[in-house]
Structure 1
Amino acid sequence: MASSNGATDQVLVEAKSSVRIFTLNRPKQLNALSSTMVSQLLELFLACAKDSSVKLIILKGSGRAFCAGGDVAKVVQDIKQGNWKGGADFFREEYTMNYVIATYSKPQVSILNGIVMGGGAGVSIHGRFRVATERSLFAMPETALGLFPDVGASYFLSRLHGFFGEYAGLVGARLDGAEMLACGLATHYVPSERLPLLEKALVEADSSDPAVISSIIDKFSQTPLLKKNSAYHRLSIINKCFSRRTVEDIIAALESEAAANKNDEWISSTIQSLKKSSPTSLKISLRSIREGRLQGIGKCLVREYRMVCHVMLGEVSNDFVEGCRAILLDKDKNPKWEPSKLECISSEMVDRYFSRVHDDNDWEDLKLPMSPNLPAYALSKI
């Protein structure tokens, strides 16, 4: 087990043969990532990269969640106390951890048996193997919180089939394990009752060969049926609408589809979700995902760090603090967004989020590690 500063073990560590099993261990908080957890995980991944006896990492969560995201309530508390830099420190370490995972020299198997949201996607989707189950529930709900899909989401969402990533990122769509497999978020689907046997087989294999690990997971895998009402069945409409250039164009295209299909609840609920989200968040999220299509993981994380610092500074909009108040703290689910309409947000306002932070002399861009423990291909990912 690993603990930090005498705190309760928020990340449990088991050594089994050449395998290290990390278990996220804040079950009452749905394993939301605290700064302690992020520090521990980063330390563990870096230590295992140097340890030649370690061949494979397995990452899982305790209780009913894999990881429900980052602990943003603490970040908001810091912002309200005038300490936005506390949040900047948290995101800097979290994004560094995301990069280390994305460029890791050893295979990682993430067992996504439960809720996977926000920061939970950051510690898993960047890894080589992502195992979904019938209990998996994925979402990037940031636009409803006045944030944007971060933790490198502009990299992995933009690489999903078609324009499904724009749909998932802007709408905050909830996807089950079958949908995760279909769109590319998961690499395998294994029924939860078979997970203990899978884990045992991975330990016994004593291998770091991705082909060997993949063939072991294949033995326990199934191809699940997509539910009748799955959004993935709507990929042609999603591609048609979410490929549009602006958020306004996307909503107009969806409204045109709604007019032609008056009884289609999926289209109307998609429009409603977009209209309830922060207009500023929608605009910066779409641009972020679009830029991510053309960038490596390193550049995506450096850009997202600039964006999140601007979000916390609140020079253009305070929607992050307001969204967290309405959804997570007061729970009235009635945020008052400002600006309140898409048309009130100019391209100059959006540009601000993508620029360096000039309001603070101490602020620096995210500096990602170029460690000898990371593989050579890490260089090509920036």
Structure 2
Amino acid sequence: MADVAENEDILVSVRNGVGIVTLNRPKAINSLNDVMVAGLQQALTEWERNDEVKAVLLTGAGERGLCAGGDVVALYHSAKGDKAYARKFWWDEYLLNAHIGRFAKPYIAVMDGIVMGGGVGVAAHGNVRVVTEKTKMGMPEVGIGFIPDVGGTYLLSRTPGLLGVHAALTGAPFSGADAIAMGFADHFVPHDRLPDFIEAVVTGGHEDALNSYAEEPPESDLLAQRHWIDSCYAGDTVEQILADLRSHADEAQGHDGGNAAAAAADLIATRSPIALAVTLTAIRRAAHLHTLEEVLQQEFRVSVASLASHDFVEGIRAQLVDKDRNPQWSPATLDAVDEAAIDAYFASADPDLTF
């Protein structure tokens, strides 16, 4: 595949048998658009068949991060219109996520800096996933009235204990060390050694590069808090989880995760009630689905249903369009969310995503 111009949103080249993809919207922290999704899909399809390409290396331009997620402002405008762009974007994006998940050659994703939402989707389903001490990963969808997608509920439902439920309902970012502990990443390379690591991948292969530059990751803060997280997030509903977090915070009073539990409860309380309820259900359903493809099909249903919801448009408006940071959720409280409203998110997208 030929190189593309430097002003393009995605840069694609082959060097020494390594297919190199650079997400190239640094001012937007490389937020994904349809051109980038199509470009990466095309490159993977070509490289899969090309015996001269032995591995793929994914990086992001600029200093801020690999990818801050999908271009949700474009999705906002689509949701307010005929919804066709958003539906097609997710269809293509989730097919790409599945392709990455089954890609047979080494797929080395360098997850430095910010890696959120859609950035997780193009990186964390790869088979060689590298983080640094600057990695700031997360699935923050509930903050915009949306539900974790891009195969995120597959990963979140398979973390040790209930760490994934905590990450999903708070939407809070977690570290590279946490990402390794949670199964979102594999290897830790110090940020300042990344240029040498990347060069070593291209010149000598990823295994030698990892042997030379990967280090033991720091301790995971989240893993160290698993005892109270597993206890507090076991409730049947988000309301119960919130009550258990508040109770633990009161009982622990500044120790044994008390402050962290209080902070988690405070954060969850700001999120979209319907998005929280659907997220909890989606993760629990995903735990019983066997493949990434099955989970992506479920996520496509949920995402398409979100297009018609009040909170998806309102959440993006408040955070990224008007930026008043004051979303008016509807329903406004968790106790006003009924089971029928949750179940509606899991109905067929008509047509459903197929592989």
Find the residue that maps to 2:56 and give its secondary structure.
strand
Please list, as runs of the form range in 1=range in 2, the aligned pairs for 1:80-91 lying within 5 A after superposition: 80=80, 82-91=81-90
Cα offsets for 1:80-115 (capped at 9, x unmatched) = 2x2112110111000010010011111101011110
- Of 335, 342, 350, 1:343 maps to 335
Find the residue that maps to 1:355 and give its secondary structure.
coil
- The number of equivalent residue pairs is 349
> Is 2:229 the partner of 1:235?
no
Match of 2:237 in 1: 246
- Of 345, 364, 373, 2:351 maps to 364
Q: What amino acid maps onto 1:222 in structure 2?
A: E
Find the residue that maps to 2:327 and give its secondary structure.
coil
Cα offsets for 1:218-244 (capped at 9, x unmatched) = 4311223337xx333211111111122
Match of 1:374 in 2: none
Between the aligned partners of 1:279 and 1:139, the Cα distance in structure 2 is 19
Contact 1:2–1:11 at 8 Å: present in 2 too? no
Runs of 4+ in structure 1 over 3 Å off: 213-216
Cα offsets for 1:125-148 (capped at 9, x unmatched) = 000011101211101110010001
Between the aligned partners of 1:38 and 1:243, the Cα distance in structure 2 is 36
Match of 1:73 in 2: 73
Q: What amino acid maps onto 2:72 in structure 1?
A: V
Find the residue that maps to 2:269 and give its secondary structure.
helix
> Is 2:320 the partner of 1:325?
no
Question: Displacement of 1:255 after TM fit?
Answer: 1.4
Cα offsets for 1:31-65 (capped at 9, x unmatched) = 00011111111111111111111110000001121
Match of 1:112 in 2: 111
Please list, as runs of the form range in 1=range in 2, the aligned pairs for 1:90-129 lying within 5 A after superposition: 90-129=89-128
Match of 2:267 in 1: 273
Contact 2:131–2:185 at 8 Å: present in 1 too? yes
Between the aligned partners of 2:16 and 2:3, the Cα distance in structure 1 is 18
Larger RCO (CA under 8 A, 6+ residues apart): 1
Please report the RMSD computed on the Cα atoms of aligned residues, expressed in angstroms: 1.6
Q: What amino acid maps onto 2:78 in structure 1?
A: D
Please list, as runs of the form range in 1=range in 2, the aligned pairs for 1:308-319 lying within 5 A after superposition: 308-314=303-309, 318-319=310-311
Between the aligned partners of 1:72 and 1:183, the Cα distance in structure 2 is 26
Contact 1:167–1:238 at 8 Å: present in 2 too? yes
- Aligned CA distance change for structure 1 residues 7 and 320 (closer, same or farther; 3 Å): farther
> Is 2:14 the partner of 1:19?
no
Q: Which runs of 5+ in 2 are unaligned?
A: none
Match of 1:380 in 2: none
Contact 2:201–2:208 at 8 Å: present in 1 too? no
Between the aligned partners of 2:194 and 2:7, the Cα distance in structure 1 is 26
Question: Displacement of 1:2 after TM fit?
Answer: 4.3
Q: Which runs of 5+ in 1 are unaligned?
A: 207-212, 358-362, 369-382
Please list, as runs of the form range in 1=range in 2, the aligned pairs for 1:1-382 lying within 5 A after superposition: 2-3=3-4, 8-63=7-62, 64-80=64-80, 82-206=81-205, 213-214=206-207, 216-226=209-219, 230-263=221-254, 264-295=258-289, 296-314=291-309, 318-357=310-349, 363-368=350-355
Question: Displacement of 1:7 after TM fit?
Answer: 9.7
Contact 2:154–2:287 at 8 Å: present in 1 too? yes
Question: Displacement of 1:265 after TM fit?
Answer: 2.3
- Aligned CA distance change for structure 1 residues 87 and 342 (closer, same or farther; 3 Å): same
Cα offsets for 1:130-175 (capped at 9, x unmatched) = 1101211101110010001100111111111111111111111211
Q: What amino acid maps onto 1:164 in structure 2?
A: L
Contact 2:131–2:187 at 8 Å: present in 1 too? yes
Contact 1:160–1:184 at 8 Å: present in 2 too? yes
- Aligned CA distance change for structure 1 residues 232 and 356 (closer, same or farther; 3 Å): same
Contact 1:188–1:218 at 8 Å: present in 2 too? no
Between the aligned partners of 2:180 and 2:354, the Cα distance in structure 1 is 33
Between the aligned partners of 2:107 and 2:35, the Cα distance in structure 1 is 21
- Aligned CA distance change for structure 1 residues 145 and 2 (closer, same or farther; 3 Å): farther
Between the aligned partners of 2:167 and 2:313, the Cα distance in structure 1 is 22
Q: What amino acid maps onto 2:54 in structure 1?
A: K
